[in-house]
Structure formats: structure tokens, C-alpha cells
Amino acid sequence: MDEQTYSMKEAMLFSQRMAQLSKALWKAIEKDWQTWIKPYDLNINEHHILWIAYHLKGASISDVAKFGVMHVSTAFNFSKKLEERGYLQFSKRENDKRNTYIKLTEKGDNLLLELMENYSPETNAVFQGASPLREIYGKFPEMMEMMSIVKNIYGDDFMKIFEKSFHNIENEFTETDGKLQKSSTHPPIEEAAPSS
């Protein structure tokens, strides 16, 4: 076993700093997120499921739960509500009858795109809180250390999907008159591989 290279005080202080900062940041993020999606009659779980379905193209409910950091029953129940509203389509695969898969419908795709087009940084407290750092350093704060912590907790697969979703945004969207719009020249996204 490796020799302990930290003190108990150091470990406790780090854990408590992370807890307090994360809780404070989450409250601001939650409020920003709810304000953004409220006009569309969505809650955070529903929006997150739509986001995951968009980027994974054929995600299983297990994938949604894993990458949405939610219980499988939560992922299923909110996906079912989205299906009832016409935003998602459920299916089974010929080679995998045990898992349920979801896919955005055209209505769901349009809703998600409209949400992205109507994102407003001026009403986002977290964005506004980071803006002074961008003005000073010419860029937003780096996320590498935070991403490393999340990777060590949730694993490589989680981070691959995390990065893929942002890569998709960078490649599929353009900015026109201060609004995000889906580019008509982007290559199609591959379907997600079945869960193992």
C-alpha cells in the first residue's frame, strides 16, 4: 500500500472547500439552468436527457443515467414524460432486447436547437462571474483540474461523452447575429455504441 502523503487536516480542508464551493456554485448553476429552460416547460433532468440524447444518438436509458449522473429510474421516468410530449422516441434493438434506447424526435431536436439559439449569457450568473477573469487573462478559467477529479470519480467513458458533446457543439453550430444556429454543413453524428 502506498504511504500516505497528506495529513488528515489537509484532506478534510480540501474536502470541505470542495463541498462548500460546489454547493455555492451549484445553487447559481441550478438557478441559471432553470431560468433558461423555464419558458419551455422543462425541468433540469428533462433538459439534460434531451442534451444527452442529442449527443449520443441512440443512447440507452443506462447511458442516460450514467452520463446524466442520475438513477436509472429517474432517467426512465423523465424520458417517458418527454416521450409523451413527443420529444423522444423509445426503441429496442434487434441485437439487444433488454435495454431501452431513446432518440430525439424531430420535435425534440427542434426544441433543443431553439433552446440553444435562445441561450443568453447576460442572464447567466456563472458566466457573468467568470467574465472578469476572461477580461484579465483573455480566456475563461481552465477546467482541467476539475475535469481530472470528475474523471477519477466517474471514469474515462464519462469524460469521453462529456468531451464529445462539447466537440459536437463546436463543430455543428455557428454564431450569427449573436445567436447560436445549427450549421447546415456539419457531418452527421455517429450513433452511440450500445452499453456494455
State pLDDT tens for residues 32-67.
999 999 999 999 999 999 999 999 988 999 999 999
- Rounded-to-integer distance, Cα 162 and Cα 87, Å: 22
pLDDT-derived band of residue 69, with 50, 70 and 90 as boundaries?
A: very high
Confidence (pLDDT) at 196 = 43
- Rounded-to-integer distance, Cα 69 and Cα 31, Å: 18
pLDDT-derived band of residue 168, with 50, 70 and 90 as boundaries?
A: confident
State pLDDT tens for residues 90-99.
999 888 888 9
Confidence (pLDDT) at 185 = 60
- Domains (ranges, CATH) in the chain? 42-182 (1.10.10.10)
pTM of the model: 0.80
**For the ranges 42-46, 122-126, 152-156, the one whose mean pLDDT is highest:** 42-46
pLDDT-derived band of residue 2, with 50, 70 and 90 as boundaries?
A: low
